[in-house]
């Protein structure tokens, strides 16, 4: 804080110090007048101190509220970012799983089913394998999603 801000008050203090150090006056009215002026100045200063404290308290309160709002917004932003990351990872996981599933179906159709011919009813075994692949899609997607999320978290420790 700049000292010039309270230059008037500092002047009053200096003047009264000088008065105290000066040769004592024989007229008691001089002191009475000086004391009266000082009391008025003190009263003024007291009112100013109350005023500035009120202003300062309000500013502090406002600052605290702003900080709180900022913290809340920051949390919201973090949550949104986490959701966005999760959505992106989920999308990637779905794509990967469906590509793998398509490959498995093709593999099953062209490489496994010809061997199933030796075991009897091709259609039953074929459907059972395809059903197993379809049923495994969702759990595989969840596992892949978790793995990808873990990888991302490891890459961004503060995220």
What is the binding site for other proteins (CB under 8 A)? 1-2, 4-8, 47-48, 51-52, 54-56, 58-59, 61-62
The distance of closest approach from Cβ of residue 44 to other proteins in the complex, given in angstroms and rounded to an integer, is 9
Greatest CA separation found in the chain? 133
The distance of closest approach from Cβ of residue 81 to other proteins in the complex, given in angstroms and rounded to an integer, is 29
Taking the C-alpha atoms of residue 147 and residue 74, their distance in angstroms, rounded to an integer, is 27
Nearer to other proteins, 5 or 119 (CB): 5
Nearer to other proteins, 44 or 109 (CB): 44
Is residue 159 within 8 A of residue 81, CB to CB? The reply is: yes
Q: Which two tokens stand for residue 127?
A: 């459907």
Which position has the token pair 């599933």? Answer: 101
The distance of closest approach from Cβ of residue 72 to other proteins in the complex, given in angstroms and rounded to an integer, is 19
Is residue 91 within 8 A of residue 148, CB to CB? The reply is: no
Nearer to other proteins, 6 or 16 (CB): 6
The distance of closest approach from Cβ of residue 69 to other proteins in the complex, given in angstroms and rounded to an integer, is 14
As to burial, measured by CB atoms within 10 angstroms (0-12 exposed, 13-18 middle, 19+ buried), residue 34 is middle
Nearer to other proteins, 5 or 20 (CB): 5
């Amino acid at each position: 804080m700049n000292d010039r801000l309270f230059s008037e008050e500092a002047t009053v203090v200096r003047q009264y110090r000088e008065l105290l150090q000066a040769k004592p006056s024989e007229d008691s009215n001089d002191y009475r007048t000086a004391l009266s002026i000082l009391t008025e100045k003190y009263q003024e200063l007291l009112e100013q101190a109350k005023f500035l404290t009120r202003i300062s308290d309000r500013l502090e309160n406002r600052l605290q509220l702003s900080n709180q709002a900022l913290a809340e917004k920051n949390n919201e932003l973090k949550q949104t970012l986490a959701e966005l990351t999760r959505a992106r990872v989920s999308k990637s996981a779905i794509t990967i799983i469906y590509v793998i599933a398509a490959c498995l179906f093709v593999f099953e159709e062209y490489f496994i089913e010809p061997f199933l011919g030796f075991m009897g009813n091709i259609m039953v075994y074929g459907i059972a394998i395809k059903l197993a692949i379809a049923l495994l899609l969702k759990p595989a997607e969840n596992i892949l999603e978790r793995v990808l999320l873990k990888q991302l978290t490891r890459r961004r420790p503060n995220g």
